Amino acid sequence: MIKTQYLLDSNIFIEASRRYYHFDICPDFWSILIEQHQNERIFSIEPVKAEILPKKQKKKNSQEDDTPIYDRLALWVKGKTPKSLFTNCNDLLVTKSYKEIIQSVFANPQYRNEAKEEFAAIADSWLVAYAHAHAMTIVSHENNSPDAKKRVLIPAV
């Protein structure tokens, strides 16, 4: 029997940590995510990790600060998760899927050019490509909106 593998979008981690599965309210949720990853059921990708981890903050004197301000989710990602949870997208199957998906999105007249360019530049495009290449199910809070023009949504792709 083939077990379904799930690929988590950044909004799953972010919403859970800030709302209904906050680390102080439901610490077991976070342990179960790691357990399910170890059972090869739950994964995400490096571009999602990059969206979760804070960018370098600038000091008031405009010099870069090498110590980013971490929230609880970033601390969990950096200190508790196995490196394999956020997988690399640099394989031939993913790259091929990414190219097909981007070509399809750019050929779709429904979306504005800015939406197409944004989609190509963010983790969502790689998430869809990885899921497509490896026959995984994406878990996201995004809902399909058949009339969307300003943003390319994961369920539509």
Residue 63 pLDDT > 80, yes or no?
Answer: no
Structural domains in the chain (count): 2
Q: Are residues 79 and 23 in the same domain?
A: yes
Q: 56 and 66 in contact (C-beta within 8 Å)?
A: yes
Q: Mean pLDDT for the chain?
A: 89
Q: Are residues 32 and 101 in the same domain?
A: no
Residue 43 pLDDT > 90, yes or no?
Answer: yes
Q: 11 and 143 in contact (C-beta within 8 Å)?
A: no
Last residue of a domain, one of 87, 114, 130: 87
pLDDT tens digits, one per residue of 31-40: 999 999 999 9
pLDDT tens digits, one per residue of 89-141: 999 999 999 999 999 999 999 999 999 999 999 999 999 999 999 999 999 99
Residue span of the structural domain in which 147 resides: 92-156
| pLDDT of res. 157 | 87
Q: Are residues 72 and 130 in the same domain?
A: no
Residue 1 placed within a domain:
no
Angle (nearest 5°) at CA 47 between 132 and 146: 55
68: confidence class by pLDDT, cuts 50, 70, 90 = very low
Last residue of a domain, one of 46, 63, 87: 87
| pLDDT of res. 13 | 96
Q: Are residues 106 and 69 in the same domain?
A: no
Pull the structure tokens for residue 46. 């490096």
Length, in residues, of the chain: 157
Q: Are residues 61 and 77 in the same domain?
A: yes
Last residue of a domain, one of 63, 87, 111: 87
